Structure 1
């Protein structure tokens, strides 16, 4: 069994995009990602030092699920909306997962 793939993507809302509307669109995009069969999680964090910068943290079951994410209609629609620029992407495997599901 392959290890899940974790992605971190930094996005920046374009200056002409209303901040609140942009954040709502990103929040909806995360909800859409979470509906994907192979998505373990999708979260967005607004940076305190730059409110127009958002970090997406996503995890996919495997490479096939990751590829399905990028091919998904909602992903293509978000990209084509042109409300953000992609600043950076990091891909890796979680090495510390003891906190996941640790709530009692």
Structure 2
């Protein structure tokens, strides 16, 4: 299992558009056969910072996600064009 978080910061004026993009990207991503989990959050005291928790069955499933038409539409041509900061953290399972 591959697990990671993506933390992204956006401008306040993009808040509604980012929420819509994340709803579409999340719904499509969760339909992928290799996607075990895809949940987007905003920080409680910072609605312009998004934290996405993602899990994929294996490296092939992650590559399929990153190569999908919905990833290109909603992430590459949507989120990535609006973001101000981005941090990706790969997680190691303990149990």
Question: Aligned equivalents of 1:86 and 1:77: distance in 2?
Answer: 20
Runs ≥4 residues deviating over 6 A: none
**Is 1:38 aligned to 2:34, yes or no?**
yes
Q: Which protein is bigger by CA-based radius of gyration?
A: 1
Bigger proportion of residues as helix: 2
Shift of 1:83: 3.1
TM norm structure 2: 0.84
Any gaps of 5 or more consecutive residues in structure 1? Answer: 97-104
> 64-73 or 7-16: which moved more?
7-16
1:54-65 to structure 2, matched below 5 A, reads 54-65=50-61
Cα deviation per residue 1:65-99 (whole Å; 9 max; x = unaligned)?
Answer: 01111111111112212233451001123324xxx
Any gaps of 5 or more consecutive residues in structure 2? Answer: none
Question: Aligned equivalents of 2:55 and 2:84: distance in 1?
Answer: 21
TM norm structure 1: 0.78
RMSD: 1.6
Bigger proportion of residues as strand: 2
1:10/1:87 contact within 8 Å kept: yes
